[in-house]
């Protein structure tokens, strides 16, 4: 096909050839919905476009040393991750409906599911959903289907972004959401147990929670099971290198954000939400699930199994239509976990914890800077109280080259001076010291 230049003269000629004017093409649109015609500027060359985009990109403060967390973390990503996932057979792969043509994609998803099961100590996982908040919402709906109840208890130490998402998704549904209020950074057991009854479908908790505090929910799991309710636990996958797993605590459904498994922060995505459960609950789990089987020749092979989408089964029995999952992101998580291996994941988690402990001691040594909670049991995040407004301090620290933390007043009352700080294995002792000096200078 010859190159077609879309000039004004050619447009007029084409319209003349078909006997129409430009306004005739839009004749079906009511006049009150029409906007004035506008002229587009002349096209730019490739170099001009690059220069313009680079100028825009330079307005972003990408040079800041990152101490942000709250569910999304600045971890080191081995170069081999992108080298593998950028292969065309991976990034161009589409829905693997024809197993005979999609064995590579199906095996990658199966291995991802296996990795998530090992990581969480659960028995079954799906092929991922959109993000951590979506995964938590899907877990809520799964619990309602399993129990036939409509009451859900969620502690306010669960990520507030996830809680907003759940509230938004369920606002028009007949679901009774009850929120317990954490005590000294830990789940409020007294309030949870008081609200737990035979109408409760699930209790939702997070470990480490949004404040970075570590807890063990074994007792809450037992109490929930005695009432016929399920325990949903959201977790930070890197922390599972050294912390007690949700499966070992007795969780029934485990969810979380997979961004820390080899994906850059990237201004918010794309990410993936992982989801795992007990084998006896798998038929109520949404999303794609890949199973291992054998073909007619007895060879190991993989297929999509237990289809939950309304495209595949009767609508009344479908669990969710959200399972157009981020499979390339799931593959990224698998590659990252495979490259680190069991010991590498432990080492990464231990580095995060050790460096966070050092930062905690270094920052709380600053006059008038105090820990917000009494507990010192945290993984790689902690909350500090400053002698002045935290948002103001964070703004001043940006000027000094630090994305210093998250102002908790955005989601919590009476925490105007409180800041959540996150430390990953990427942060050096020197960077932590420089942050401490910068904070002390503005205070």
Q: Does 69 share its domain with 89?
A: no
d(CA 338, CA 252): 26
The answer to which of 83-92, 155-164, 170-179 has the lowest mean pLDDT is 83-92
Q: Enumerate the H helices of 101-159 as residue ranges.
A: 103-120, 132-147
| Contact between 400 and 64 (Cβ < 8 Å) | no
At 383, the pLDDT band (50, 70, 90 cuts) reads: very high
pLDDT tens sequence across 316-326: 777 776 655 56
**What's the number of CA atoms in the CB half-sphere (13 Å) around residue 27?**
5
Domain end, chosen from 284, 319, 336, is at 336
The answer to which of 69-78, 97-106, 195-204 has the lowest mean pLDDT is 97-106
Average pLDDT over residues 383-396: 96
Domain that holds residue 350: 65-74+341-442
pLDDT tens sequence across 395-416: 999 999 999 999 999 999 999 9
Quick check: is 40 in a domain?
no
Quick check: is 283 in a domain?
yes
Predicted pLDDT at 323:
55
Quick check: is 21 in a domain?
no
Domain end, chosen from 275, 304, 336, is at 336
The kind and range of the H/E element at 329 are helix 327-364
> β-strands 402-403, 381-385: how paired?
unpaired
d(CA 106, CA 415): 47
pLDDT tens sequence across 240-286: 999 999 999 999 999 999 999 999 998 888 899 999 999 999 989 98
Q: Does 229 share its domain with 355?
A: no
Q: Does 283 share its domain with 147?
A: yes
The CATH number assigned to the domain holding 415 equals: 3.90.1150.10
At 15, the pLDDT band (50, 70, 90 cuts) reads: confident
Residue 312 has pLDDT above 70, yes or no: no
Residue 389 has pLDDT above 60, yes or no: yes
Q: Does 324 share its domain with 388?
A: no
Q: Does 284 share its domain with 361?
A: no
Residue 4 has pLDDT above 80, yes or no: no
- CA atoms 283, 289, 294, 296: torsion sign: positive
Q: Does 265 share its domain with 323?
A: yes
> β-strands 151-155, 176-180: how paired?
parallel
The CATH number assigned to the domain holding 148 equals: 3.40.640.10
Q: Does 135 share its domain with 246?
A: yes
pLDDT tens sequence across 112-134: 999 999 999 999 999 988 899 99
Predicted pLDDT at 311:
64
Domain end, chosen from 320, 336, 352, is at 336
Is the pLDDT higher at 409 or at 1?
A: 409
What residues contact residue 190 under an 8 Å CB cut-off, 6+ apart? 183
């Amino acid at each position: 096909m010859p190159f077609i230049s879309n000039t004004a003269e050619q447009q007029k000629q084409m319209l003349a050839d078909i006997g129409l004017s430009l306004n005739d093409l839009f004749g079906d649109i009511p006049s009150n919905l029409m906007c004035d015609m506008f002229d587009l500027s002349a096209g730019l060359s490739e170099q001009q476009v690059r220069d313009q985009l680079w100028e825009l990109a330079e307005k972003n403060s990408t040079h800041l040393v990152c101490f942000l967390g709250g569910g999304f973390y600045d971890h080191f990503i081995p170069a081999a991750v992108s080298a593998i996932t950028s292969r065309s057979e991976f990034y161009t792969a589409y829905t693997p409906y024809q197993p005979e043509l999609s064995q590579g994609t199906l095996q990658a998803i199966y291995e991802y599911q296996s990795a998530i099961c090992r990581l969480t100590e659960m028995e079954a996982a799906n092929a991922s959903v959109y993000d951590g908040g979506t995964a938590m919402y899907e877990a809520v709906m799964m619990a309602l289907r399993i129990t036939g109840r409509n009451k859900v208890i969620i502690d306010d130490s669960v990520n507030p972004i996830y809680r907003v998402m759940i509230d938004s998704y369920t606002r028009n549904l007949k679901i009774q959401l009850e929120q317990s209020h954490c005590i000294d950074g830990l789940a409020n057991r007294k309030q949870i147990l008081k609200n737990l009854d035979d109408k409760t479908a699930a209790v939702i908790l997070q470990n480490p929670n949004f404040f970075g505090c570590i807890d063990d929910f074994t007792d809450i799991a037992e109490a929930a099971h005695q009432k016929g309710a399920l325990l949903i636990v959201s977790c930070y996958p890197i922390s599972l290198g050294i912390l007690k797993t949700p499966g070992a605590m007795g969780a029934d459904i485990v969810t979380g954000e997979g961004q820390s498994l080899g994906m850059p922060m990237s201004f918010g995505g794309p990410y993936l939400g992982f989801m795992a459960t007990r084998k006896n609950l798998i038929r109520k789990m949404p999303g794609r699930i890949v199973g291992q089987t054998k073909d007619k020749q007895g060879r190991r092979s993989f297929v999509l199994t237990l289809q939950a989408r309304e495209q595949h089964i009767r609508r009344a029995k479908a669990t969710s239509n959200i399972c157009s999952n981020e499979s390339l992101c799931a593959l990224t998580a698998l590659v990252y976990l495979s490259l680190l291996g069991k010991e590498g994941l432990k080492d990464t988690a231990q580095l995060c914890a050790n460096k966070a402990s050092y930062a905690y001691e270094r920052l709380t040594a600053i006059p008038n800077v105090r820990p917000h909670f009494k507990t010192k049991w945290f993984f790689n995040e902690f909350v500090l109280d400053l002698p002045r407004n935290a948002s103001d301090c964070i703004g001043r620290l940006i000027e000094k080259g630090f994305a210093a933390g998250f102002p908790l007043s955005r989601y919590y009352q009476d925490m105007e001076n409180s800041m959540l700080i996150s430390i990953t294995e990427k942060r050096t002792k020197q960077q932590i010291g420089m942050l401490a000096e910068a904070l002390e200078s503005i205070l």
